[in-house]
Amino acid sequence: MSAISHVVFYLTRPLSGAGIPATSVATAQAILHAALSSQPSASGILSLAPLAAPPIPLLAAAIGAAIQWPVWYHALAGAADELTVIYGAGFVKARIGAGPLLDVRSEETQGSVVRISRQPQAPALSMAFRRRPIVIPTLFATPYDDNDLSSSDDDSDAESDASSSPTVYSLSPDSPKGKPFALPAFAGVRPLPAVPKTVPVVCALPVSAPKPALKPATKPAASTTTAYLYKGGVTRVMTGGVMLGPRAPAKPRATRIRA
């Protein structure tokens, strides 16, 4: 914590024992910390008295948390007439009344507290590490070939020779060692046909369904009437039907007169 945080903790810690609600104490801590942090200097001196108005940071915290200043001072210094708090980078000191100047927080005391608090943990941690089993890493053997081993040795020798000698790059075509490098032709590879940039647009003709052929109109054949004579009358036939005509009148018979 910074010096300002230690000052806020020192000035507000006795309020809980004086019967001040926890919400009021938290409000006073927030206001006091913000007011001290807004000061241009990180060090200062706070002179407090029970019957005099406190400095502006403490006055703002007392008003914001609804805590009466005499009650706050009595929780801090009791019946003493004066309380002085001096803080700066790495230290906080306080003097109650005519007493000595006490170290509330300093770098030396803070360091000793940290070392003492860590000492009991050291044996426990060492015992925990000692109880852990020792794990030896193993390497899995991979099958290899003698040819691969010899080729790897040759490659390593070549690489070591190449690394020891300077590398010279030549781009001149007259060099006897420089040979043109051509890519091998792959069998079965055919070049892709060239695609024209503009593709002709073919207009589609309208598709029409074939019309059914018209059948020639047939005229009904003229009906002819055929008359057939038979004993009972006349028979007339019309379009395949049989019609019986009127009965023929009987001829009058001549009457004979007997003498």
- pTM, entire model: 0.42
Q: Say which amino acid occupies 41.
A: S
pLDDT, tens digit, 9 for 90 and up, residues 166-194: 434 344 445 445 455 455 554 455 556 66
- Nearest Cα to Cα of residue 95 among 105, 79, 82: 82
Contact 15, 28 (CB under 8 A): yes
Can you give the residue ranges of every domain in the chain?
Answer: 3-104
Over its C-alpha atoms, the chain yields an Rg (Å, rounded) of: 64
User: Per CATH, the architecture of 3-104 is what?
Assistant: Alpha-Beta Complex (3.90)
Per residue in 116-161, pLDDT tens?
Answer: 333 444 444 445 444 555 544 444 444 445 555 455 555 555 555 5
pLDDT, position 141: 47
- Tokens, residue 203: 């207009």
**Overall average pLDDT of the 5-9 stretch:** 90
- pLDDT exceeds cutoff 50 at 39: yes
98: Cβ contacts below 8 Å, ≥ 6 apart:
none
The pLDDT score that the predictor gives to residue 42 is 78
Handedness of CA 86, 88, 93, 98 (dihedral sign): negative
Mean pLDDT of the chain: 68
Tell me if 104 sits within 8 A of 94, measured CB to CB. Answer: yes
pLDDT attached to residue 61: 93
